[in-house]
Structure 1
Amino acid sequence: MTSSSPYDPPAEPDRVSAPPGRPPRLDFDRPPAATGLPRPVGPSLRRMRRRRRRTVLLLVALLAVAGAVAGLTELVHRRADPPAGNPRPANGFGAGARVEPGPYPTGASGSFAAADGRSPIRGYDGPLRRYRVAVEQGAGQDVDVFAATVDEVLGDRRSWIGSDELRVQRVAEEAAADFTIYLATPATSERMCAEGGLTTERYTSCRIPGRVIINLARWMESVPDYGAPLEVYRTYVINHEVGHEFGEEHQACPGPGAPAPVMQQQTYGLDGCVANAWPYVDGSRYSGEPVDGI
C-alpha cells in the first residue's frame, strides 16, 4: 500500500484520447473521480483558506461601514434640504428651517437700530403699506436677519397680501414708513406697550398705532404647549400683530382640532385648536368668530 503525503504534488489532469495526428487535450471540465476518501489538506492550504476567510470578513465589514456612511450622508442631506416648493430663505428662518433658541437679555439699551435698504414691493393689488424694521441694541439679535424674516413672512402669499387688496414694502426711512416692527427685550417691550395703554407683564407682544412690538422672550422661546416649531410661532406673532395694524380684531377657535385663526390669541393658549401661522389657508381667508380682548 502506498501512502499519500499532504505534500505530494497533485496528479496530472486526465488526458482524453484524440484522433490520430492530434495531440491529446487536457479535460479540465470533467470533475475528478470520486474516491470516497477525504481530500488531504496541508498547512499551506489551511493558511490560504484562513487568509481567504479574513479577506471575505474584511470586505463584509467595509461594505457595512460604507452603507452606514451612505445612510448618514442621505440623512444629513434630507435634513439640510428644504421641502420641495418651499425654498429655505438665506437667513435660516421660515418654514422647514430649524431654529434653536439661545440665551437673551431681559432688558437692554432701549434704543433701536433700523435695517437698511428696501425690499421689493410684495403683493398684487391695492394700497401700498410701508413698514420699517428695528431691533433693540444690546438684545443680541442681528437687525438684518430679523428684517429678512419679517420680509419673508409678509411677502408670503399666505400672509395678508393674499387678499389681493394690499401690498407691502420694507423701507429704511422712518418718515417713509407707515408703521415700524420692533424686536424688543421684555422690559423695553412692556414699557413701549404701556405707552399705548396695554399691560403685557413682560410676556406678550403688542401693537399700538404705528408700532408692532415683538417681545424678545416670545421670539426666542415661543410659549408652552404650542405644539409647533419655534419658526411657526415666529411667523404667527408677526402676522398676528401686523394684522392688528391692518385693522384685524381677535378671533376665537372654531372648534377642537381645527386650525387656530391667526388672529386668535395663540400666545395665551390654543383652546383645542392646533397652531396656525397664516391668515390665508389653501388660498382662502381663514378666520373665527370675533371676540373681545386686547
Structure 2
Amino acid sequence: MPPWEDDEPLRGSAGSAGTLTPERVDDDVAIARRGAPTFGVRPDDPTVLQSLRGFARRYGWRAYALPVLVVITVLALMTTEGASKPSGRSGPAAGAGSQPGPPTASGDIPLKSDQAGPGAPKTALSAAALPPGAAYTKTGTGTFRVLRGNGPVVGSGQLRKYTVEVENGVSGVDLTKYAAQVQTVLSDPRSWAGHASVALQRIDTGAPDFHVTLTASMTVRTLCGYDIPVETSCFAPSGTAGSDVNRVVINVARWVRGDSAYVGDLNAYRIYLVNHENGHALGHQHAHQCLPGGLAPVMMQQTFGLRSAATHKMCQANPWPYPKGAAGVPGAEQPDTPANSEIRLKND
C-alpha cells in the first residue's frame, strides 16, 4: 500500500441500500467523561516495572547517578550559552526601530469561515498546527467533480440539497469512503437534520444548495484565505473570491491528518469537520462556550483549541451538533470578537 493511502475505516455497520450506519452510544456525555488517554504503556505495567528493576540490578549505583549527571550537563550547557551571548544589549540593533510587542490574534474572523480576517498576524497557531502523518495533495487543478450517489430526505424542516464533490487532482484518499462518511454524518440524528428546522438530501444531479468538496490545500487558501498560516477548512459562499457557488471546503490536509484536539481519533475529527463546516452552510455562527456538562459545541472552532476564551474553561472535544445526553445544544452562537476567539498563538 502506498504511504499516502488513506485506510481509515468508517466506523459503523451496513445498513439499507448499502449505506453505513454510524455507531450509536446511549449517552455521548457519559462516553466523553469516561474518556482516558490510551497512548503508550501504563506506568504500573508489570512489564515496565520488571524492566526498571532489571536495569537497576545490572548497573547498581550508576543507574541512580545517571539522571543526576544528565541534569548537571544540561545546566552547564545553559550556563555556557548564556555567558557566550553579548552583554549590555537587550534591545534592538543600533539603527533599528523599536521592538514590537508580542503578537496577538485579532479574533476578527468572518462569519461562516475558520480563518482570520484582514490584518491578522501571520503567526502559526499553537493549537492548530497540523499533526504529523501521511502525505496529502497540496495542489489540484482548481476544478471539481461530483461523486455519484444520492439519498433520501432526512429530517422534517426546510429542505436543503447538497452534492459531495472532490477537486480534480486530489489523490491518496478513498473517495468512496469519503462520500459515504459525509452522507452518513449528515443523515445521523445527532447531526443538523436531527433538529426540526432543517432537512437534508444528497443529490448528484440538479441544482444543490451547497457543494461539500474535498479540496487540495493550496486551493483551500484561494477559497478560504491564508492570513493565519495553518491548514483550515471553511464555507465559501457564492460570490466570495474563487467561488461561484456555495461551497463547503474540506481541506484534504485535515481529512488525512486530523487535529491535535482529536489526536488518536481521526474518524471523530472528520465527523466534527463535516458537521462544523456544513453548519456554516446552514447559517450557523461560531459558538464560544462549553455546553452544560463540559462538551464543546460543534460550532466552536475546535481546530484552534478547546479552551473557551470567554470563560477560560477547557471543553471536551465533541463532533456532533446534538450529542445525546447534552443540554443546551447546539450551543449559544455569537459573532467572533477578540474577546471570545479560540485562536491562541504559540507565545501566548
Q: For the superposition of Structure 1 and Structure 2, which TM-score range results when normalised by the shorter chain?
A: 0.5 to 0.7
- The answer to whether 1:205 aligns with 2:256 is no
2:221 alignment partner, one of 173, 182, 190: 190
State the TM-score, normalizing by the size of structure 1: 0.61
State the TM-score, normalizing by the size of structure 2: 0.52
Q: Is the 8 A contact 2:144 2:168 kept in 1?
A: yes
Relative to structure 1, the CA distance from residue 224 to residue 185 in structure 2 (aligned partners, 3 Å threshold; closer, same or farther) is same
Amino acid at match of 2:216: T
Once the two structures are aligned, what percentage of the paired residues are identical? Answer: 38
Alpha-carbon displacement from aligned partner over 1:25-54 (angstroms, at most 9, x marks no partner): xxxxxxxxxxxxxxxxxxxxxxxxxxxxxx
Alpha-carbon displacement from aligned partner over 1:237-266 (angstroms, at most 9, x marks no partner): 110011011111111132797111000000
Alpha-carbon displacement from aligned partner over 1:129-169 (angstroms, at most 9, x marks no partner): 00011112221134332211110000000000111221111
Q: What SS class does the counterpart of residue 147 from structure 1 fall into?
A: helix
Relative to structure 1, the CA distance from residue 220 to residue 279 in structure 2 (aligned partners, 3 Å threshold; closer, same or farther) is same
Q: Indicate the residue corresponding to 1:104 in structure 2.
A: 136
Q: Indicate the residue corresponding to 1:274 in structure 2.
A: 316
Task: List aligned pairs for 1:62-141, cutoff 5 A.
Answer: 87=13, 95=23, 102-123=134-155, 125-140=156-171, 141=173
RMSD over aligned Cα, in angstroms?
3.0
Q: Indicate the residue corresponding to 2:203 in structure 1.
A: 171
Relative to structure 1, the CA distance from residue 226 to residue 119 in structure 2 (aligned partners, 3 Å threshold; closer, same or farther) is same
Amino acid at match of 2:330: Y
198-207 vs 208-217, which deviates more? 198-207
Alpha-carbon displacement from aligned partner over 1:177-231 (angstroms, at most 9, x marks no partner): 011011011101111224xxx7463610000221100111111111124355111
Which structure has more relative contact order (CA 8 Å, sep 6+)? It is 2
Amino acid at match of 1:207: F
2:272 alignment partner, one of 232, 236, 239: 236
Tell me the number of residue pairs that the alignment of Structure 1 and Structure 2 aligns: 203
Q: Indicate the residue corresponding to 1:35 in structure 2.
A: none
Amino acid at match of 1:240: H
Alpha-carbon displacement from aligned partner over 1:249-292 (angstroms, at most 9, x marks no partner): 11113279711100000000111111100010226633145351
Q: Indicate the residue corresponding to 1:33 in structure 2.
A: none
Which consecutive residues of structure 2, in runs of 5 or more, have no partner in the other structure? 1-8, 25-132, 238-245, 308-313, 342-348
1:290 alignment partner, one of 311, 334, 342: 334
Q: Is the 8 A contact 1:111 1:136 kept in 2?
A: yes
Aligned counterparts of 1:217 and 1:88: Cα–Cα separation in 2 = 28
Relative to structure 1, the CA distance from residue 162 to residue 274 in structure 2 (aligned partners, 3 Å threshold; closer, same or farther) is same
Aligned counterparts of 1:122 and 1:129: Cα–Cα separation in 2 = 10
Amino acid at match of 2:279: G
Amino acid at match of 1:267: T
Q: What SS class does the counterpart of residue 233 from structure 1 fall into?
A: helix
Q: Indicate the residue corresponding to 1:147 in structure 2.
A: 179
